[in-house]
Amino acid sequence: MTRKAPRTAATATKARAPAKKSTATPKVDPRAQAAKVVRRLKADYPDATCALGHESAFELLISTILSAQCTDVRVNMVTPELFRRWPTPAHLARAPLEQIEKVIQSTGFYRNKAKNIKGCSQALFEKYDGEVPQEIELLVELPGVGRKTANVVLGTVHGLATGVVVDTHVTRLSQRLGLTKHTDATKIEQDLMQLLPKSEWVDFAHRMIEHGRQVCIARKPKCDLCSMNSC
Ligand code: SF4
């Protein structure tokens, strides 16, 4: 005969304890959330594109380097003069550093940026015959070029989805919309690449940036005007 385990005080309490009600908010499926964000961004900003003025991959590459910690509007104010004086990688590679600094000064961090755009132009001239390579692995080896800049150029000029552009707007909105918990751009990009279909990577970033500029502003988001309705 099998003996039953003796009923102790502990097991008796356990048996009587009522099931605890969960107070946690139901978890939103991140993929469903991402799909919803994609749909609403598409409806709100069907034609969003890169706001940096450019006529070639080279110009967009240099403009994107200049856009670090600076508005696109400001960059667009200095680049006409920059490319008028030094229109190709060969010209910019030979330009005196002090003169480049003077032209781009208003974009901030101008010493470092001047060094980078000159170094980048030298590398393009010497290694790639003045052409901008279309491989992300080669682009990120150029001075001043990280994944964000490389993705901007490849996505905007060539329509190549090599990743998702993660700038300050995409970072902030992705966090607010529950698409990532990370703060590091590389990890945020990984999260977004997992959640979004590849066909959406390029336009998604353009639209998020537009939404960040117009509605989901850093300090005071205009939630009452926002179609997301989910933060
Ligand atoms: S504006 Fe408000 S509701 Fe819209 S994405 Fe930003 S935080 Fe969310």
Per-residue model confidence as pLDDT tens digits over 125-134 = 999 999 999 9
Mean pLDDT of the chain: 91
pLDDT, tens digit (0-9, with 9 covering 90-100), for 53-93: 999 999 999 999 999 999 999 999 999 999 999 999 999 99
CA quadruple 154, 166, 180, 205: dihedral sign: negative
Q: What is the pLDDT of residue 24?
A: 52
Q: What is the pLDDT of residue 3?
A: 44
Class of the CATH-defined domain 57-158: mainly alpha
Q: At a CB cut-off of 8 Å and minimum separation 6, what does 54 contact?
A: 60, 63, 79, 157
- Domains of the chain, by residue range, sit at 30-46+164-225, 57-158
Which residue owns the Cα nearest ligand 1 atom 6? 216
91 lines ligand 1 (CB under 6 A): no
Instruction: Please tell us whether the domain made up of 30-46+164-225 is placed in CATH 1.10.1670.10.
Output: yes
Q: Is the per-residue pLDDT at 14 higher than 50?
A: no
- 8 A C-beta contact, residue 93 and residue 122: yes
- 8 A C-beta contact, residue 56 and residue 226: no
Could you tell me the distance, in angstroms and rounded to a whole number, from the CA of residue 205 to the centre of ligand 1? 16
* Mutational pocket test of ligand 1: of 222, 223, 229, the residue with most ligand atoms within 8 Å of the beta carbon: 223
> Do the domains spanning 30-46+164-225 and 57-158 agree at the CATH topology level?
no
pLDDT, tens digit (0-9, with 9 covering 90-100), for 163-222: 999 999 999 999 999 999 999 999 999 999 999 999 999 999 999 999 999 999 999 999
Amino acid at site 212: G
H, E, C per residue of 8-70? CHHHHHHHHCCCCCCCCCCCCCHHHHHHHHHHHHHHHCCCCCCCCCCCCHHHHHHHHHHCCCC
* Mutational pocket test of ligand 1: of 44, 168, 170, 176, the residue with most ligand atoms within 8 Å of the beta carbon: 176
Q: CA torsion 116→119→125→130, rounded to 10°? A: 0
Q: Is the per-residue pLDDT at 227 higher than 80?
A: yes
Calpha distance 24→187 (Å, rounded): 26
